[in-house]
Amino acid sequence: MTGYGRASGALSGGLLGVQVDSVNRKGLDLTVSLPGDWADLEQEVAAPVRQCVVRGKVHVRVEYDSSETGGEVSWNEAAVAATLDKLAGLAASQGIAFRPTPELLWQVANSQRQASGLPTAAVARAPILAALDEALHAFTVMRAKEGEALLVDFLSRVALVRRQVEAVAARAPLVAPAYRELLLKRLRESGLDLDAGDDRVLKEIALFADRCDVSEEITRMRSHLDQFAALLRSEGEIGRKAEFILQELSREAHTIGSKANDLTVSRHVIDLKNELERIREQIANVE
């Protein structure tokens, strides 16, 4: 799920900023960006994020700007030059012409940025975690709003799936009688001296009726849909369990389609599978 939250605050005469953002990802991919001198705080910053996020590509950026109070910003020119030399050597070894662009120079220089008066990690720890807590609150509020929109979409699609299941349930009892009529018609057209009461005809019709009986699959699909709808309205993490229920629904739908032997049922199953696939693609992003 997507989300964004940002918070800022004063720190040692400068401005501290913490930003949390995420895009859809089936698993959790968390990265934390901190000024070099604060790298030891990475695990402490990541911990509260992991407590409230299970899925998504999440990035946390912590920045400090002392220019608000006239602090000078400089770059480690020796380190910048050394980095460019290494890049030039790498390019030469690969037979690639190396022509640094202004954008590359900025990226390399900014990675070696030195802000005068950067507080120590010990001093910055509490303000960073406080700003992170505020940013995470805004982040989760935004994700909750997206979740509400997704809930409406899921419930409407579940209703569509229910209609297809009930359409199959209404059609299924008619499949065997239709086959019986078709079989008798073919027997008459072929000139075979067999009537509807012949044991061989009755056996064939009984075997067909048993093969195309989908009553158990329909019962299970109704139960799975009830569980899925209840899960959508429940609290806490639902993504993994929802994926399992959708997997079971798809399995039952596949079984119905393979047993149906009826064009009308097959059409309903195709529509049903399409809706389940749309739900499955979206639920992969939900916690």
- Residue 103 within a domain: yes
- Residue 136 within a domain: no
Shared domain for 178 and 251, answered yes or no, is yes
Shared domain for 94 and 182, answered yes or no, is no
- Residue 42 within a domain: no
- Mean pLDDT computed over 31-49: 92
pLDDT tens across 118-144, in order? 788 899 999 999 999 999 999 999 988
pLDDT tens across 221-252, in order? 999 999 999 998 887 778 888 999 999 999 99
Shared domain for 161 and 110, answered yes or no, is no
- Residue 236 within a domain: yes
- Residue 121 within a domain: no
From the centroid of its chain, how far is CA 101?
A: 37
Q: Which two tokens stand for residue 218?
A: 């329909």
Domain of 202? 147-283
User: pLDDT-derived band of residue 44, with 50, 70 and 90 as boundaries?
Assistant: very high
Query: CA 27 to CA 54: how far, in whole Å?
Result: 7
Shared domain for 162 and 279, answered yes or no, is yes
Q: Position 283: which residue type?
A: I
* pLDDT greater at residue 22 or residue 197: 22
- Residue 108 within a domain: yes
pLDDT tens across 152-188, in order? 889 999 999 999 999 999 988 887 676 666 656 665 5
Q: How many domains does the chain divide into? A: 2
Shared domain for 156 and 111, answered yes or no, is no
Pairing of strands 73-75, 113-115: antiparallel
Shared domain for 174 and 274, answered yes or no, is yes
Q: Give phi and psi for 53, each to the nearest 5.
A: -130, 130
Shared domain for 108 and 226, answered yes or no, is no
Output the 3-class SS for the chain: CCEEEEEEEEECCEEEEEEEEEECCCCEEEEEECCHHHHHHHHHHHHHHHHHCCCEEEEEEEEEECHHHCCCEEECHHHHHHHHHHHHHHHHHCCCCCCCCHHHHHHHHHHCEEECCCCCHHHHHHHHHHHHHHHHHHHHHHHHHHHHHHHHHHHHHHHHHHHHHHHHHHHHHHHHHHHHHHHHHHHHHHCCCCCCCCHHHHHHHHHHHHHCCCHHHHHHHHHHHHHHHHHHCCCCCCHHHHHHHHHHHHHHHHHHHHHHCCHHHHHHHHHHHHHHHHHHHHHCCCC
User: pLDDT-derived band of residue 62, with 50, 70 and 90 as boundaries?
Assistant: very high
Q: Which two tokens stand for residue 231?
A: 């899960």
pLDDT tens across 187-198, in order? 556 655 656 566
User: Is 76:114 a contact under the CB 8 Å cutoff?
Assistant: yes
- pTM, two decimal places: 0.61
Q: Position 63: which residue type?
A: E
